[in-house]
Amino acid sequence: MQKIVILTGAGISAESGLGTFRDKDGIWTRYRIEDVATPQAFARDPDLVHRFYNTRRTQAAGARPNAAHQALARLQTEHPGEVIIVTQNVDRLHEAAGAQNVIHMHGELARALCASCGARWDAAPEIGPHDACPHCGARACRPDVVWFGEMPYRMEEILAHLSEAAIFAAIGTSGQVYPAAGFAQEAALAGAHCIEINLESSAVAADFDDTRQGTASETVPGWVADILCE
């Protein structure tokens, strides 16, 4: 049965009210990456970094999945082959729509990570650098998100899925951040048909065989219906 691997980015959650990073008014137009999203920023000013993620955690907790998240969850249930969802998003909207086994390659806002021992736990709505680790007791709490300069999670597993994909779809991502931006090339090498579904052409649009342009909530349900031959 045909395996489908889907990569999602901030664009899929835009219509749920969560801002993207690089669009007009995006998060990186209001904050500097080097102030809030690098290990060096955290070493310099952990309170500031925690405040940034605490705000985003609160926003994400109040967001609801949209028709695109719901369509992908339905695809997972109804497609006879495996459907793997890899997301760069740190929200839980895929899960809220009913998706299973989502791979959060950039971590999750809902989780905290001990910078001392590596233990992870469910984050309270607000966390801070001096919260004690429930495992080792160290006061070295950080958000469980992958910062610039850090290795995304579960890369071996993702590359193995890409090497088996018959279809690869990238949804709502600008293609500006690697390694995710290189997934279409990886999947194409393995013979996958690659489709980009995005509001505008991404930085790596040339790596795809096919494109659907539009908002995720309009385009993704139609693509899913086509895959399911409805």
Rounded to the nearest whole angstrom, what is the least distance from the CB of residue 182 to ligand APR in the complex?
13
Which residues does 164 contact at the CB level (< 8 Å), separation at least 6?
A: 3, 190
Is there a contact between 77 and 224 (Cβ–Cβ < 8 Å)?
no
Nearest residue to ligand APR by CB is: 11
Rank residues 96 and 177 by Cβ distance to ligand APR and give the closer one: 177
Task: Centre a 10 Å sphere on the Cβ of residue 113 and count the other Cβ atoms it contains.
Answer: 21
* Helix or strand (DSSP H, E) at 226: helix 216-227
Is there a contact between 207 and 185 (Cβ–Cβ < 8 Å)?
yes
Q: Quote the CA–CA distance of 157 and 165 in Å, as a whole number.
A: 13
Q: Does 23 bind ligand APR (CB under 6 A)?
A: yes
Residues 85-124 that bind ligand APR (CB under 6 A): 88, 106
**Structure tokens of 136?**
């080792």
φ, ψ (nearest 5 deg) of residue 57: -65, -40
Size of the site for ligand APR (CB under 6 A): 23
Burial status of residue 62 (CB atoms within 10 A of its CB: 0-12, 13-18, 19 or more)? exposed
The single residue among 75, 215, 223, 227 that binds ligand APR, judged by CB under 6 A, is 215
Q: Does 11 bind ligand APR (CB under 6 A)?
A: yes
Rank residues 66 and 133 by Cβ distance to ligand APR and give the closer one: 66
Choose the stretch contacting ligand APR; rule: CB under 6 A; options: 22-30, 108-116, 128-136, 154-162.
22-30
Rank residues 1 and 151 by Cβ distance to ligand APR and give the closer one: 151
The single residue among 177, 188, 190, 205 that binds ligand APR, judged by CB under 6 A, is 177
Give me Rg for the CA atoms of the chain.
Answer: 18
Count CA within 13 A, CB hemisphere, residue 126.
4
Q: Does 199 bind ligand APR (CB under 6 A)?
A: yes
Instruction: Catalogue the active-site residues.
Output: 106
Residues 63-92 that bind ligand APR (CB under 6 A): 88
Q: Which residues bind ligand APR (CB under 6 A)?
A: 9-11, 14-15, 20-23, 26, 88, 106, 172-174, 176-177, 198-200, 202, 215-216
